[in-house]
Structures are given as structure tokens and as C-alpha cells.
Amino acid sequence: MDSEMVGESKSTKRATLEDLNGVPFHSEMVNGWGPIWNFKARSDDLLICTYPKAGTTWIQEIVDMIQHGGDLQKCARAPIYERIPFIEIYLPDFKISGVEKANAMASPRTLKSHLPVQLLPPSFWEQKSKIIYVARNPKDNVVSYFHFHLMNKTKPEPGNWEEFLETFMAGKVSCGSWFDHVRGWWKAKDRHPVLYLFYEDVKENPGREIRKVAEFLDIQLPESVLNQIVLHTKFERMKVNPMTNYTTLPSSLLDHSISPFMRKGTVGNWKEHFTVAQSERMDDLCAQLLKGSGLSFRTEL
Ligand code: PPS
């Protein structure tokens, strides 16, 4: 997103969802799908891919820090959405096009996407671009997505918590089923250079996970730089950093007074939202829909 290009839209229209090959997405994005599907990835692109609210911004900042040797000034050159374009975002009312922004960028690029594996533009597979995928346990993920729907004025009306949880479990939210998303990308790592990370692991031991990222990117990380990155990408730091906390966008788009983008940043906040019955239903769904995948998630540390 380009903050200069983002016009103040007095009454932001909340999106309606439309089917794109069986996956719901914002209708504007579906209407603008041609250029997204035909996006030209480059072999030296790095793609950060996630289900929404899985820790994208966190990994984006970690990657940018690794790529810039832990240089704080370089990483403060622009807001995170400028440094790492979100390829499928398409908001004509706000003059935002992720494809245009990425096309205008010099190589090597780092890009962001929330697309499920089957909808990733084929050029990423053809070019064998490296991909980092981050997954987060579904309970914390849905709580975060609910609050994001409240504060992001372009998202569909979420309804109340109970209603949103139902919609999420049915895979009827933007980006579709969380289960299909995490499973699809888990399989993709067997045939493509995908580093698959878990939010809970980064929270538990950021140094260990940052090292994994650096190794995947073939970048040497001296201990002092690693420590600097761990410190700079702590939740408390990123929450007050205007280059990472999304406060540089107009409130007609993101209203932080309703819920800040950097909300809690924890594992286990779901316990303040789920009833016991809701939690058991989610456990059952996980058992059913992740069965045989080899995937498992921690909901507390
Ligand atoms: S988006 O809109 O999909 O790009 O959002 P995304 O960045 O994936 O997810 C936002 C959630 O990630 C939390 N977050 C962090 N947690 C821990 N440490 C750090 N540094 C960090 N940065 C962002 C953010 O607070 C959102 O989670 P919740 O649970 O809502 O707090």
C-alpha cells in the first residue's frame, strides 16, 4: 500500500465476498483477479505467505532486518507495506494495487501474500522463488481475525464473536478455510523451496527461528546482529514502531481506536474469547480436518 496514494475515503465500503475457484475473497479482488493470476514472479523473489493474522508482519520485519544486517535505519525507510508489497491487494477506491507496486519494484523483491496454495500465481512455481510460510494455531488466529474485521473498514461485517467463529469454521471468511490453507502449504514444501514456520515457535524461541530464516536465505548472521533482530522485532517494540504498526494508514481504512493492529501478540489469548464448547468444537474440527497431514498446533506455551 502506498500511503501517499491512499486517498481518504469518507465512507469506506465494507467488502462483500465472492467465490474465486471455490475460495471466498473480496469481490473487488475477484474482479481484478486477471493481473494477479498473471503476476510475473522473478527467480530471486522471496514470498512471505500466510493465512491472514498468522504473524505476517512479524516475519516481514524479521526478514527485512536479516536482509539489512540488522540496520535499524534501513528498516525504518518506509512502512512495512511499502517495503514488502502485498501482491493480491486490490482496493481501487483507495488507489491500491499490490501488483502495480510489486511490478515497479527493483529486484531482489520480498513480497507478501495470503493466497491459498492452489491460487498462487503459477510464475512463483515456474521461477522456483523461495517462499516462507507462517502458520498460527486456529484459535488465536480466528480471535485475531475477528478483531481485524472490526477495525479494518474494508472487511465484511464480522457479526458478533459467535457468528464470526461459525463463519470461520465453515471456511466462509476471506481467504477461505484455515484448514485447507495450512494443509495445502504444508504439502507444497515437499515439491518447492518452502520454509514452513509456526507463530508459536517464533514466540517460544525467536532466536532459533530467526536463525532458520537466515539459513534459508543463505545469509550469515553474527550473534550481535541476531540479538539486535530479536530485540527489535519483539511485540512491544513493533507495537510502537510506526513503520510496523500500520498507524500510517488513514483511519477510514484501519481504525486502531476500535482494536489496534498490534493487539496482544500472544499465544493463548483465545482463552478469553472461546467458551469450553467452542474450544472443543475447534479441537474436533482440527482432529478431523488435519488428520493424516502430519500437522499439529500448540495453543499454549
Ligand atoms: S495481516 O493483516 O494478516 O498481515 O496480520 P498479521 O501480521 O499476519 O497478524 C497480526 C497478528 O500478529 C501479531 N504480531 C505479533 N505477535 C508477536 N510478536 C510480534 N512482534 C508481532 N507482530 C505482530 C499481532 O499482534 C496480531 O495478533 P493478535 O493476536 O491480534 O495480537
Would residue 209 count as lying in a domain? yes
Contacts of 61 (CB under 8 A, 6+ apart): 75, 80, 232, 233, 238, 244
Would residue 26 count as lying in a domain? yes
Are 66 and 219 contacting, i.e. CB atoms less than 8 angstroms apart? yes
Summarised one tens digit per residue, pLDDT across range 261-278 is: 999 999 999 999 999 999
Ligand 1 atom 22: the closest Cα is on which residue? 58
Instruction: State in Å: Cα 104 to ligand 1 middle.
Output: 27
Contacts of 295 (CB under 8 A, 6+ apart): 135, 182, 183, 186
Would residue 9 count as lying in a domain? no
pLDDT band at 13 (very low <50, low <70, confident <90, very high): confident
Would residue 59 count as lying in a domain? yes
Instruction: State in Å: Cα 190 to ligand 1 middle.
Output: 27
Instruction: State in Å: Cα 92 to ligand 1 middle.
Output: 25
Closest atom of ligand 1 to CA, residue 263:
31
Summarised one tens digit per residue, pLDDT across range 49-61 is: 999 999 999 999 9
Average pLDDT, the chain: 95
Domain CATH code at residue 255 = 3.40.50.300
Instruction: State in Å: Cα 126 to ligand 1 middle.
Output: 30
114 catalytic per annotation: yes
Q: Which domain holds residue 259?
A: 22-289
pLDDT at 10: 52
Pocket test for ligand 1, best of 58, 86, 197 (most atoms within 8 A of CB): 58
Ligand 1 atom 17: the closest Cα is on which residue? 265
Q: How many CB atoms lie within 10 A of CB 72?
A: 13
Active-site entry in 114, 147, 181, 273: 114
Number of domains in the chain: 1
Pocket test for ligand 1, best of 51, 114, 249, 262 (most atoms within 8 A of CB): 262
pLDDT at 29: 96
Mean pLDDT, residues 61-89: 98
Q: How many CB atoms lie within 10 A of CB 275?
A: 11
Are 15 and 28 contacting, i.e. CB atoms less than 8 angstroms apart? yes
Protein residues whose CB sits closer than 6 Å to any atom of ligand 1: 50, 52-58, 140, 144, 147-148, 233-235, 238, 262-265, 269
Pocket test for ligand 1, best of 26, 144, 240, 241 (most atoms within 8 A of CB): 144
Would residue 201 count as lying in a domain? yes
SS3 246: coil
pLDDT at 12: 81
Would residue 10 count as lying in a domain? no
pLDDT at 19: 97
| Burial (0-12, 13-18, 19+ Cβ within 10 Å), 8 | exposed
Are 199 and 137 contacting, i.e. CB atoms less than 8 angstroms apart? yes
Instruction: State in Å: Cα 97 to ligand 1 middle.
Output: 22
pLDDT at 9: 47
Percentage of the chain exceeding pLDDT 90: 94
> What residues does 130 pair with on adjacent strands?
46
pLDDT band at 7 (very low <50, low <70, confident <90, very high): very low
pLDDT band at 8 (very low <50, low <70, confident <90, very high): very low
pLDDT band at 94 (very low <50, low <70, confident <90, very high): confident
Predicted confidence (pLDDT) at residue 5 exceeds the cutoff of 80 = no
**C-beta pairs of 290-296 under 8 Å, 24+ apart in sequence:** 290/179, 290/182, 290/183, 293/183, 293/186, 293/187, 294/186, 295/135, 295/182, 295/183, 295/186
Would residue 124 count as lying in a domain? yes
Predicted confidence (pLDDT) at residue 4 exceeds the cutoff of 90 = no
pLDDT at 208: 98
Task: Give CA–CA dist 38/139, Å, rounded.
Answer: 34
Number of H helices, E strands in the chain: 15, 8
Would residue 203 count as lying in a domain? yes
Task: Give CA–CA dist 26/19, Å, rounded.
Answer: 9
